[in-house]
Amino acid sequence: MDPLKALADAERKPYWLDSPARPGPTPRLTANTTADLVVVGGGFSGLWTALMAKERDPSLDVVLLEGRRIGWAATGRNGGFCMATLTHGLANGLERWPEEIDRLERMGVENLDEIERTLDRYGVDCSFDRTGELHVATEPWQVESLNEHLDLISELGLDYVPLDRDQVRAEVGSPTYLAGLWERSGCAMLDPARLAWGLRAACLRLGVRVHERTPVRSMRDDGGTISLRTPYGVVTARRVALGTGVFPPLLRRLRHFVVPVYDYALMTEPLTADQLASVGWHNRQGVGDSGNRFHYYRLSDDNRILWGGYDAVYYNGGLVKAEYEQRDETFVKLAGHFYDTFPQLADVRFTHRWGGVIDTCSRFSAFYGQAHGGRLVYAAGYTGMGVGATRFGANVMLDLLSGEPTERTGLRMVREKPIPFPPEPVRSGVIQFTRWSIAQADQHEGRRNLWLRALDRMGLGFDS
């Protein structure tokens, strides 16, 4: 089908948030108040922090402030891949923290296990399904890199299964697949919006005071406390945790480490039984291809296909704007790639198209820190893989606030910061040239030019 025709009736809104299950907003903050802990941000980072703070100490008075609605930003716009990795994949973790990789992989799997147990404990129905993720090679040069770390994977006891061309096509039927690597237990598929709403319900049940439509305008250190000013009230707290992602930070230093990168996705109409049979996909894994500019895709409960990725767009100046959430050039490109991958689905149309902003940092995985004498903590920079890792990050923030050393806070990954991005306008020039170089690498069998190799040596990068 012509991509323009296939997109003609697609709603310009995130599929996950377009649901009758979406709860009404909690009340705005309309008076001055105090709290033991204020959590700023109602995405996964803030929700996990608030929930686990109450689990650690039920007597704590915890307030969560969200500027708009719970889960409206990256939390409700992603692909719903809840991954065990804390390091944006094994290869990135191995390159940056090789001496910690065994612990990081173990702690990532434990974190995913704990997410599953938490959902069971609170009865959160978000279609959590531990299908694993299928990494596929679609170009000959990708096959070797796909299997590069098999020996280490075996040593770490990770559950990966290499697949040849026929085996991977038996899992998911695409003529573009040349090989695959099935990471069988390190990833779960879920509905991210329903996860966020379920965590909100759990927070409310434990006594967290949740105020939506309550943006924090400014922050002031009063000595022993920190005051957060909102449009209709001030919250004074002993401790503050920031989980605001890429949005303009209350802590100015964070703007040097995080840039807003826009990612885009489509959702198809539900497949018929015959259409689904033509693809196979009996094990319902999430799928990601292996280019530098990669696609990610998965099935929904009602057998739609979410299809996203490829273009990771940085708009010069680094602003976050609602108008950037729609990019027809990318939607048409994505639709064409979908039909190239699944020619047997040429009659399938799309019902939703949307974009969202990712908090990208130069090391591709979250970083952590403290300010105001240890009374404020933050976690940011998840770079598109935060559905699962935000729970680990929330635990890091709570560990830091406690002041007690833990295995988590002892990690070099936690103690170190990424290399900051240069200021504008140099930042825009560097990022756009890097994006061009990445596209060139994909067109030249993965060969990285001098610029990309120099960035690799410095530990810098750009990803989504």
Q: How do 218-221 and 226-230 pair as beta strands?
A: antiparallel
| 399 and 435 part of one domain | no
Q: Does residue 281 fall inside a structural domain?
A: no
C-alpha to C-alpha distance for 65 and 104, rounded to whole angstroms: 31
| 411 and 447 part of one domain | no
255 pLDDT above the threshold of 90: yes
pLDDT in tens, 362-394: 999 999 999 999 999 999 999 999 999 999 999
**Which residues lie below 8 Å from residue 434, measured CB to CB, with a gap of 6+?**
451, 452, 455, 461, 462
| 376 and 409 part of one domain | yes
464 pLDDT above the threshold of 60: no
| 384 and 410 part of one domain | yes
C-alpha to C-alpha distance for 174 and 266, rounded to whole angstroms: 18
Structural domain boundaries, residue 214: 25-78+193-254+364-415
Name the DSSP class of 19. Answer: -
Q: What is the CATH number of the domain that holds 204?
A: 3.50.50.60
C-alpha to C-alpha distance for 377 and 374, rounded to whole angstroms: 7
What integer is the mean pLDDT of 115-135?
98
Percent of the chain with pLDDT over 90: 90
pLDDT class for 155, splitting at 50, 70, 90?
confident
The number of angstroms, rounded, from the C-alpha of 243 to the middle of its chain's C-alpha atoms is 13
Provide the 10 A C-beta neighbour count for residue 227: 17
* Residue 180 main-chain phi, psi, to 5 deg: -155, 165
In order, the DSSP letters of 62-113 are: EEEE-SS-TT-SGGGTS--EEES-SSSSHHHHHHH-GGGHHHHHHHHHHHHH
273 pLDDT above the threshold of 70: yes
Distances (CA, A) of 6 to 270, 336, 354, 360: 14, 10, 15, 31
Domain count, the chain: 2
pLDDT value of position 266? 98
| 206 and 244 part of one domain | yes
Tokens 């504008």 sit at which residue?
A: 424
Q: What is the pTM (predicted TM-score) of this model?
A: 0.96
Q: Which of 301, 110, 117 is nearest to 191 (CA)?
A: 301
Q: Does residue 32 fall inside a structural domain?
A: yes
Provide the 10 A C-beta neighbour count for residue 236: 16
C-alpha to C-alpha distance for 258 and 247, rounded to whole angstroms: 9
What integer is the mean pLDDT of 321-341?
98
Q: Does residue 235 fall inside a structural domain?
A: yes
pLDDT value of position 249? 86
What integer is the mean pLDDT of 328-357?
98
Q: Is 89 left (phi over 0), alpha (psi -120 to 50) or beta?
A: left
| 399 and 442 part of one domain | no
157 pLDDT above the threshold of 90: no
Tokens of 443: 């067109």
| 398 and 434 part of one domain | no
Please tell me whether residue 87 adopts helix, strand or coil conformation.
Answer: coil
Q: Does residue 87 fall inside a structural domain?
A: no
Q: Which residues pair with 237 in a beta bridge?
A: 35, 226
Q: Does residue 88 fall inside a structural domain?
A: no
pLDDT in tens, 324-333: 999 999 999 9
pLDDT value of position 461? 63
Q: Does residue 155 fall inside a structural domain?
A: no
Q: How many helices (H) and strands (E) does the chain have?
A: 14, 18
In terms of residues, how long is the chain? 464
9 pLDDT above the threshold of 90: yes
pLDDT value of position 462? 60
